[in-house]
Amino acid sequence: MQQIALYWYIYTLTGSPLSIGIMIAIYYLPSMGLSPFAGALSDLIHPKRLTIIVNFFRGIAVLILALVIWFEVSSLYLLYLFQWIMAILYTIYKPASQRFIKHSFYRKEIPSIMALSNSLEQVGYILGTGLAGYLITILPVSITIGLNGISFVLTGLLFRYISLVANPEKTINHHTYRSMIAEGIQYIKSKPDLK
């Protein structure tokens, strides 16, 4: 939700479609460069713990962003910074949450659960986009963004009550972070279609 509200706010602030394009680029650049590192991090840290922590940080960042907009202390560069922070947090959240899902269900359930999870995520994007579009017509942008921040915090709280059926500590490879990154790079180099 906050993406649509933020894009609208930036457009009303600057009147420049280019500023929206820069915001979109800022959101996707970290995932291109940091995904391998985020994946290795999610293999080293307990997935439930990492998912909850990152969700809380996402919520706090979005709530601070809402306050920045509410008190009108926002500059374009400050908004770009918040976008960058949110992008990094999402890049860490995605593999951690997938691993969290994997350890929350039995092995035979994983394919259908992952498919359902991805489908629900897409439905959430569609509904969230529509809801954000509606909310920014009746509420201040800062409130719309703040509601999304609250949803991250609530989700983090709810994740605490999900039981794991598999012990991720038993599956954590006791390599170092650096060796895991090196293994990933070697794997990519060994596959001609991934080069």
Phi, psi of 106, deg, nearest 5: -75, 155
Tell me how far apart the alpha carbons of residues 92 and 41 are, in angstroms, rounded to a whole number.
8
Percentage with pLDDT > 90 across the chain: 53
Range(s) of the domain holding residue 56: 2-194
Tokens of 140: 């201040």
Structure confidence by residue, pLDDT tens digits, 137-183 = 999 999 999 999 999 999 999 999 988 776 665 555 556 777 777 77
Judged against a pLDDT cut of 80, whether residue 185 lies above it is answered with no
Number of domains present in the structure of the chain:
1
Query: CA-to-CA distance for 195 and 187, rounded, in angstroms?
Result: 10
Expressed in percent and rounded to 5, the helix, strand and coil fractions of the chain are 85, 0, 15
Dist. CA 116–CA 112, nearest whole Å:
6
Q: Nearest-5° angle of CA 181, CA 186, CA 187? A: 95
d(CA 55, CA 52): 5
Cβ(162)–Cβ(101) under 8 Å? no
Mean pLDDT of 9-34: 91
- Per-residue DSSP letter, 73: -
Percentage of the chain modeled with pLDDT above 70: 94
- 155: which residues sit within 8 A by CB, 6+ positions away? 55, 59
The pLDDT value recorded for residue 43 is 82
pLDDT on residue 1? 80
Long-range contacts of residues 169-176, Cβ cutoff 8 Å, at least 24 apart: 169/46, 171/103, 172/43, 172/44, 172/46, 173/43
What's residue 11's pLDDT? 92
Helix axes 2-14, 76-104, angle to 10 degrees: 170
Q: Is 0.85 surpassed by the pTM of this model?
A: no
Q: What is the pLDDT of residues 65-87, one digit of tens each?
A: 999 999 998 789 999 999 999 99
Q: What SS3 class is residue 16?
A: coil
CATH number of the domain encompassing residue 158? 1.20.1250.20
